[in-house]
Amino acid sequence: MVAENVSRTYELDGVSVPALRGVSLTVAAGDYVAIVGTSGSGKSTLMHLLGGLDRPTGGTLRLGGRDVASLGPAELARVRNEVIGFVFQSFHLLPRTTARDNVALPLVYRGAGRRERHERAAELLARVGLAHRAGHRPNQMSGGEQQRVAIARALVTGPSVLLADEPTGNLDSATGAAVLELLESLNAEGVAVVLVTHDQAVAARANRRIEMRDGRIVAP
């Protein structure tokens, strides 16, 4: 994914509020990038743009080699489903749905059959060490287990980039370290990882550290 001089401005009560001011960033295959900054620095806005959850006001954003400006809503959703996996701080699992069906959900949007969905979900749950929890609902699992289910769901479509927004923010230090080790093992297998974090120790583990302030990249 490539962002070139990307800006994002929001209109709030008739006032223009710039959230990003000319940001350029390339995430290559196999990258491991940490985006850091204080609240309001623009890091979450940048993450949403990189994930195709929002569109830039100015500049050029390419996802999977395609210019976001040229994509309609359905096309953008398809690119997002094919290229990007999301991991959120609050997990965003369906509460009344088993781990297996939570993981399989992105495959529904691809039109995969029930058997294929379940087989792929079982494979990914085993990959994150949760094969034995496939039939459990989120409220029957620990925070660390829920985060691993969320990672399995993000990987089920075989994305080339994994975007993680504060993936350890709701976890204790030991569980958070285990989640980071899992992300790093996936990165070693070729999945690009981009994570937003306020934790400098977490950021220090990445290969690249991008610092944001007032909607701009200020380091490196």
In the predicted structure, residue 172 carries a pLDDT above the cut 90: no
User: pLDDT tens digits for 16-43?
Assistant: 999 999 999 999 999 999 999 988 899 9
Which residues lie closer than 8 Å to 193 by C-beta, 6 or more apart? 31, 32, 33, 161, 162, 164, 183, 184, 186, 187, 206
Return d(Cα 4, Cα 7) in angstroms, integer. 9
Q: Is residue 62 within 8 Å of 55, Cβ to Cβ? A: no
In the predicted structure, residue 209 carries a pLDDT above the cut 90: yes
Average pLDDT of span 149-162: 91
Nearest Cα to 141, choosing from 125, 157, 156? 125
Q: Tell me the angle at which helices 99-108 and 143-155 cross, rounded to the nearest 10 degrees.
A: 20
User: pLDDT tens digits for 65-115?
Assistant: 899 999 999 999 888 888 899 888 788 899 999 999 999 999 988 888 889
Residue 61 pLDDT: 95
In the predicted structure, residue 220 carries a pLDDT above the cut 80: no
Mind listing the domains of the chain with CATH numbers?
2-219 (3.40.50.300)
**Distance between alpha carbon 84 and the CA centroid of its chain, in Å?**
7
What is this structure's pTM?
A: 0.88
In the predicted structure, residue 166 carries a pLDDT above the cut 90: no
